[in-house]
Amino acid sequence: MPGWLGSDISPLFKETMHLDATKPFPFPDATFDYVYSEHMIEHVPWRDGLRMLKECRRVLKPAGVLRIATPDLVVVAGLLTDRREIARRYVEWLQDFAFKGSIPIRSTAFTINIAFYRFGHKFLYDAETLELTMRLAGFNATRRCAPGQSDDPHLAGIEAHGVNVGDREMGDFETMVIEATA
């Protein structure tokens, strides 16, 4: 994103720096006004996620803001009882996205297992657990936001997960966003 320092464990672009979020960040304390992580924390075990959040807190300036976007465990688990049309479409969409239509059975159980295991996920959060983990990492106030929405104009509209997976509505449906203040 223009104006942001992009990082990834496996950078695809020369503008993106290599960063293993489970290790100490190569930045001094209080370097950044904002830190943003999108669909990443679920790829590491909980203790590594806590370590990452502590590093985010360390590199944020006082009153800096962390924004985390991640799959919502409540949405995934709720698929078992959610009878809304969007949930039905999500079940089909995720199976098609993950297996390109090669699954002979359409079931919610397949979709839930895909959400947990197919993409290398190690720990899915609900809002309560993510907010408690953020507080344990040293953050003060936390607030839940809808994808793309924020009271801070620097953080509004920055989610790209829906674009990256080819369906903004489905990406937003599965995504929980929490902001935390240093």
Selection from 118, 120, 115, 145 nearest residue 130 by Cα: 145
Q: What is the pLDDT of residue 101?
A: 72
Provide the token pair at 162: 């829906």
CATH architecture of 7-71+121-181: 3-Layer(aba) Sandwich (3.40)
Give the integer Cα–Cα distance in Å for 137 and 140: 9
Q: What are the structural domain ranges in the chain?
A: 7-71+121-181
Residue-wise pLDDT for 26-63, tens only, equals 999 999 999 999 999 999 999 999 999 999 999 999 99
Q: What is the dihedral of CA 144, 114, 36, 49, to 10 degrees?
A: 90
Between 26-30, 110-114, 175-179, the lowest mean confidence (pLDDT) is in 110-114
Q: What is the pLDDT of residue 81?
A: 96
